[in-house]
């Protein structure tokens, strides 16, 4: 099933004020509950204020935590929006995931986290051990990054049915087709 695109353009080119941010964030949350993946589309948004984005970012964090089996991406962020979102994410210690030309990039993440995401994209579906090998990292060092990327909505995780003993998690980055918002921008 295709991910659900939530277009912010319905609210006009300026996204501002904390109360409107809270209103939009709640509407977004309520209307994406059943989606298998969510793309928040900033197409046609010129500017967004930090209080507005703060409300949106906090809601996105909660949405991702509530459903770690689906990814949540932000699309069509211009440089100005990216700057403000970075500022908000940094202050709240939140990491989110943006998609640009099909490539994933963290918002508010470190360089190491972006490198980890790039390696994860190359693997597509993987276990923690496979990614650790790819990055030449010890497994315990990778776990924190995987947790951050899952909390950022960049990775989904599910039980690996092929695990012969005990419990093993499979991580997955969104398919290329699932990174494009519905509708033209």
Partner 1 sequence: MGAGSVDSQWLSLAGDLRRHIAVQSLLAEGDESSELVIFASQVERVDAVGGAATLLRAGRHLEEHPSGQVMIVPPTRPSPAEQFLELLSPLPDGVVLTDAGSVPEPRRFALVPATLIPDDASAVAAAGFALEACERARISEVRTNLVGLAVAEIAGNALHHATGTQTPPAVAVTVSGRERVIEIAVVDLGTGISSAIDPAAALGAIPGPANGSGFLADLIRRGNKREIELSIEVMSGTATLRWRWDQHRTENQSFVPGTTVLVRIPA
The binding site for partner 1 (CB under 8 A) comprises 12-20, 46-47, 49-51, 80, 83-84, 87, 91
| Sheet containing strand 125-126, strands side by side | 125-126, 169-172, 156-159
In angstroms, give the least distance from the CB of 17 to partner 1: 4
Nearest residue (CB) to partner 1, 18 versus 172: 18
Q: How far is the CB of 183 from partner 1 (least distance, A)?
A: 21
The alpha carbons of the chain give a radius of gyration, in whole angstroms, of 16
155 neighbors 171 (Cβ within 8 angstroms): yes
In terms of CB distance, is 15 or 72 closer to partner 1? Answer: 15
Q: Are 5 and 73 in contact (CB under 8 A)?
A: no
Q: For residue 95, give both structure tokens.
A: 């990491």
Beta carbon of residue 79, minimum distance to partner 1 (angstroms, whole number) = 10
Closer to partner 1 by Cβ: residue 84 or 180: 84
Dihedral angle of Cα 10, 29, 93, 90, to the nearest 10 degrees = 0
As measured in angstroms, the least distance from the Cβ of 86 to partner 1 is 10
Whose Cβ is closer to partner 1: residue 17's or residue 110's?
17
């Amino acid at each position: 099933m295709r991910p659900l695109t939530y277009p912010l353009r319905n609210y006009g080119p300026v996204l501002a004020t904390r109360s409107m941010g809270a209103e939009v964030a709640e509407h977004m949350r309520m209307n994406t509950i059943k989606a298998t993946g969510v793309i928040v589309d900033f197409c046609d948004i010129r500017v967004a204020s930090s209080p507005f984005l703060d409300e949106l970012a906090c809601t996105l964090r909660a949405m991702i935590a509530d459903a770690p089996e689906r990814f949540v991406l932000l699309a069509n962020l211009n440089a100005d929006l990216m700057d403000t979102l970075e500022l908000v994410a940094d202050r709240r210690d939140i990491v989110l995931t943006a998609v640009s030309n099909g490539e994933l990039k963290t918002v508010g993440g470190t360089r190491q986290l972006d490198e980890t995401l790039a390696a994860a994209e190359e693997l597509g579906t993987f276990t923690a051990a496979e990614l650790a090998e790819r990055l030449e990292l010890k497994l315990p060092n990778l776990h924190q990054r995987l947790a951050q990327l899952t909390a950022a909505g960049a990775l989904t995780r599910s039980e690996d049915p092929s695990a012969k003993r005990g419990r093993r998690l499979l991580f997955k980055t969104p398919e290329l087709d699932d990174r494009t918002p519905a509708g033209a921008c």
